[in-house]
């Protein structure tokens, strides 16, 4: 980082980043079908030519937007996973952590966009690699939480755990249900997983 950049009070985001942020906001508000270069440029506060300069096709734009979201998610989940390794977890801690992941996203357009992109990846094979990276990050976090709880076959159960959390998150996003309801459901599921774990039943 240059000295000028470090002393500036608040440098504007690079044009490419502003475009991606605008794309996620538009997708969350109106869906992928609403994406036009003109609307993207207006939302991002950039020239129309800047959009096509940085992204030649809409596929490039969607792919990079999803990858940007994935990178941010992966960094966040890696920090949480590292926390699981250094701190002892009980059932309540695990449910709280899962709730933090599932409920941490505000009910706004930018956080609805990933679900739109995941669905679009089902239609466009070119986006599936980027989507797979996101789910791999979720699975790693789930496996470490389950391992910290002493659940056997944590890696095998990770994908199922992620599916449950994401399903509950989608329900919350779709219905506007309180975050407390989601955490309560996670507590119930986590408690049953702990009860059924061979590692925990042996001592009962």
**pLDDT (tens digit, 9 = 90+) per residue, 143-199?**
887 787 777 888 888 898 888 878 877 877 788 776 666 666 666 655 555 555 544
Do the Cβ atoms of 117 and 62 come closer than 8 Å?
yes
For 48-99, the DSSP string reads HHHHHHH-SSHHHHHHHHHHHHHHHHHHHHHHHHHHHHHS---HHHHHHHHH
pTM of the entire structure? 0.67
What gap in Å lies between CA 32 and CA 115, rounded to an integer?
A: 11
> Other CB atoms closer than 10 Å to residue 167's CB: what's the count?
12
HSE-up (13 A, CA, CB side) for residue 13 = 11
Hey, is 40 helix, strand or coil?
Answer: helix
* Eight-class DSSP state of 11: P
Summary mean pLDDT of the chain: 76
Hey, is 124 helix, strand or coil?
Answer: coil
pLDDT, averaged per 10 consecutive residues of the chain (204 residues), comes to 42 83 90 92 94 90 84 74 65 66 58 84 87 84 78 86 81 74 63 52 39
């Amino acid at each position: 980082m240059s000295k000028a950049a470090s002393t500036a009070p608040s440098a504007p985001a690079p044009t490419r980043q502003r475009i991606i942020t605008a794309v996620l906001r538009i997708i969350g508000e109106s869906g992928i079908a609403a994406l036009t270069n003109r609307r993207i440029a207006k939302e991002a506060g950039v020239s129309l030519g800047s959009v096509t300069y940085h992204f030649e096709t809409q596929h490039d734009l969607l792919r990079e937007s999803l990858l940007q979201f994935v990178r941010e998610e992966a960094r966040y989940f890696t920090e949480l996973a590292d926390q699981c390794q250094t701190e002892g977890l009980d059932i309540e801690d695990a449910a709280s952590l899962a709730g933090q992941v599932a409920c941490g996203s505000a009910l706004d357009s930018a956080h609805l966009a990933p679900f739109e992109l995941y669905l679009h990846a089902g239609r466009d094979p070119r986006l599936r690699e980027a989507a797979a990276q996101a789910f791999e990050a979720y699975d790693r976090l789930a496996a470490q939480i389950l391992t910290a709880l002493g659940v056997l076959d944590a890696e095998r159960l990770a994908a199922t755990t992620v599916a449950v959390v994401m399903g509950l998150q989608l329900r919350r996003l779709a219905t506007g249900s309180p975050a407390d309801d989601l955490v309560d459901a996670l507590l119930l599921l986590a408690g049953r997983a702990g009860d059924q774990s061979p590692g925990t039943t042996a001592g009962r």
